[in-house]
Amino acid sequence: MQVGIVGLPNVGKSALFKAMTGMHVEVANYPFTTTKAVHGTAPVPDPRLALIGRYIRTRKYVPATIDLVDIPAIVAGSAQGEGMGNAFLENVRQVDALAHVVRCFRDPDVSHVFETLDPVRDVQAVETELLLADLQVLEGAIDKAQRRARTGDAAGRKRVEIATRAQALLEQQKPLRGEEWSRDELTELRSMGMISLRPVLYVANVDEGDLAGQSAAVAALRKWVEANEGAQARLVPICAKLEAEIADLAAAERQEMLEGLGLTEPALAVLARALYDLLGLQSFYTAGEPEIRAWTIRKGETAPEAAGSVHSDIQRGFIRAETYSIDDLVRYESEHAIRAAGKMRSEGKSYILQDGDVCHFLFNV
């Protein structure tokens, strides 16, 4: 699962990418510092790993990860070749979701493509380019599908119907993610690479003095997001510059800085959980002396499907999963005590894994 980081120039995309992945990327106060997509992996901060480690001795902890792509900046006219042109389009089409970074901070030393601070205008500028990019694709897709339909091709007629409906929505400046689509329709739209179908997490990049995101700029952005995204509305305030500084510190210094700021955890942890929620993901755990590891699965996956994320052989030869909750581990303090209390569950192939399950998979190949 990949998340693409998008936004206007100089909004803090690369600073956020650097903070989350720990990778060195150039961060500067002029537009188009990022000229090609940069790929990286971000660990998902997870206090439950250490909690499990209080009761199960282990040599190491392995968190879940999120794959991130720092995508070149989008500006007004990008779909028609302005700025870096439409080079961003193929990168955006390859990701599963978008983290749209919006500038909500003031800094005279960091230039702004529009010169004034207006996050709603900025987010609309990027949204417009993504909608225009989808419209351009649909125009060609409809023309091609109509030629097929004229020959009596049923699949061509169906594609014309779906693409025309999508085109009407985009012309009303409505992203496709806000519409109800059947599974077959979604498959068709995804095959056409519709960008506006992808879920979006809005990241309000705030000043160091507004870590809670209470400024008028963030309030205006939040109001716009809630009005336009409805039930899918998700917004996280974060100071990318500060998070990059925190990420560079040693563990002890990091904790000291967080306490000094009155924070219990980096905002990156909140952001990572929001991205998990956006993508419909959850974690389960395997725990033993070699390692305690968090594994990422989609919500609703069965025990054999989850076992497959550990190893394909385990899914192929799945017999059952011995499972318990972290709450039971805290209460009984050991797996032996959990079993003695009758709280160790034996789950079969139809079991839907729950977030936070700790599992031992039994299999035979």
Residue-wise pLDDT for 265-293, tens only, equals 888 888 888 888 888 999 999 999 999 99
Residues in the chain: 365
Structure tokens at 193: 């690479």
Q: What is the pLDDT of residues 57-79, one digit of tens each?
A: 999 999 998 899 999 888 665 55
Name the most confidently modeled range: 102-111, 122-131, 232-241, 313-322: 313-322
In angstroms, rounded to a whole number, what is the distance separating the alpha carbons of residues 119 and 122? 5
pLDDT above 70 covers a percentage of the chain that reads 93
Q: What is the pLDDT of residues 306-363, one digit of tens each?
A: 999 999 999 999 999 999 999 999 999 999 999 999 999 999 999 999 999 999 999 9
Which of residues 104 and 245 earns the better pLDDT score? Answer: 104
Residues 199/213, Cβ–Cβ less than 8 Å: no
88 pLDDT band (50/70/90 cuts)?
Answer: low
Where do the domains of the chain lie, and which CATH numbers do they carry? 2-277 (3.40.50.300), 300-363 (3.10.20.30)
Which of residues 28 and 252 earns the better pLDDT score? Answer: 252
Ranges of H-type helices in the chain: 13-21, 47-53, 88-93, 119-149, 154-171, 183-191, 216-229, 240-247, 251-260, 267-278, 303-310, 312-316, 326-332, 335-340
Q: Return the amino acid letter for 273.
A: R
pLDDT of residue 77: 59
pLDDT of residue 80: 55
Alpha-carbon 326 to chain mean position: 25
Q: What is the mean pLDDT of the chain?
A: 89
Res 189 pLDDT > 80 = yes
Res 85 pLDDT > 70 = no
Res 227 pLDDT > 60 = yes
Q: What is the pLDDT of residues 124-175, one digit of tens each?
A: 999 999 999 999 999 999 999 999 898 888 989 999 999 999 999 999 999 9
Whole-model pTM: value is: 0.85
Res 30 pLDDT > 50 = no
Residues 200/97, Cβ–Cβ less than 8 Å: yes
